[in-house]
Amino acid sequence: MYKLEIDLLPKGAWNNDFSKTLPKKEWDRIRNICYEKSDHHCQICGTKTDVLNAHEVWCFDIKNKTQTLKNIIAICTKCHGVIHIKNTIRLGYGQEAMQHFIKVNNCTEMDFAKHLTKAIMTFDQLNKVYRWKIIADLSKFGGDNTAIKTKNIPFIYSPYNDVKWNEINYSEMKNLFLIRKTRDSLIGVPKIVSVAVDNYQGKIIIDSLFADKIEWYVDDKKIKTQYNVVGRFITFLSVVDIENSKLWFRISNENGYMISKQFKLKNI
């Protein structure tokens, strides 16, 4: 066990952290108490700094699908970057994070590689759970024990799960959408590049070309309209708190429109 460990947050727990879900005033109180308790030192590497992060330490139980808050600790940005190293690598600071891990733990590059591999395996295992139930007592950390808000994110069943979008031509597109032209044109109606679903965060992502707008409907009631100015149109719909079971979209330009098949939503 290392002093500084990589602890990748599973996808289903992204955006569940209290820095995002609590009212700002309450989170500021909790994090400032955390910093004062640590005397403005990183509780992992010991560095004294005024630039600290309040890091939530969670324990995940796959069987019961729970994430339990164990602690909130003050850590420096370097240690925080190691803990969430997948994002750190994405931002281009993977080498620096590795060197900090080696320095704090007094270990080798091979030790780091083995630990990273194990962390990724744990991350993949935890990603089998789409929804986590949060268990936390914030009064232990200076909070008011405010009721924890839970998101209602239904599971999205997409009619386009098995579509290989890079192999679809226009004639085949007619089997996937109801297509109508309002006038003859060289450009024609919008073209769907892809339809993707993120069932961890509850999003449907539409990538399209030649579209002016997209309209979303739940049981024939319009719930959202998004407009495009020029070029490629990448947009998404969050299904958080949408309780109805059937959802579809209409994407259009001045030459015509396309209507999707129905997405089904179900609480899990």
DSSP string over 142-161: T---PPPP----PEEE-TTT
Q: Which pLDDT does position 20 carry in this prediction?
A: 86
If asked whether residues 18 and 133 sit together in one domain, one would say: yes
Sequence-distant (6+) residues with CB within 8 A of 154 are 202, 239, 242, 243, 265, 266, 267, 268
Interval 87-145: pLDDT, tens: 999 999 999 999 999 999 999 999 999 999 999 999 999 999 999 999 999 999 988 76
* Structural domain count of the chain: 2
Which domain range does residue 248 map to?
155-266
Last residue in a domain, options 114, 141, 168:
141
- 146, part of any domain: no
Answer yes or no: are the C-beta atoms of 100 and 82 closer than 8 Å.
yes
Which one-letter amino acid corresponds to residue 144?
D
Last residue in a domain, options 72, 107, 141:
141
If asked whether residues 52 and 136 sit together in one domain, one would say: yes
Percent of the chain scoring above 90 in pLDDT:
78
Q: What is the CATH number of the domain that holds 175?
A: 2.60.40
* Strand, helix or coil for residue 261: coil
If asked whether residues 102 and 174 sit together in one domain, one would say: no
Last residue in a domain, options 115, 141, 167:
141
If asked whether residues 195 and 167 sit together in one domain, one would say: yes
In this prediction the pTM is: 0.86
Radius of gyration of the chain, Cα coordinates, nearest whole angstrom: 23
Q: How confident is the model at residue 189 (pLDDT cuts 50, 70, 90)?
A: confident
Span 42-58, mean pLDDT? 96
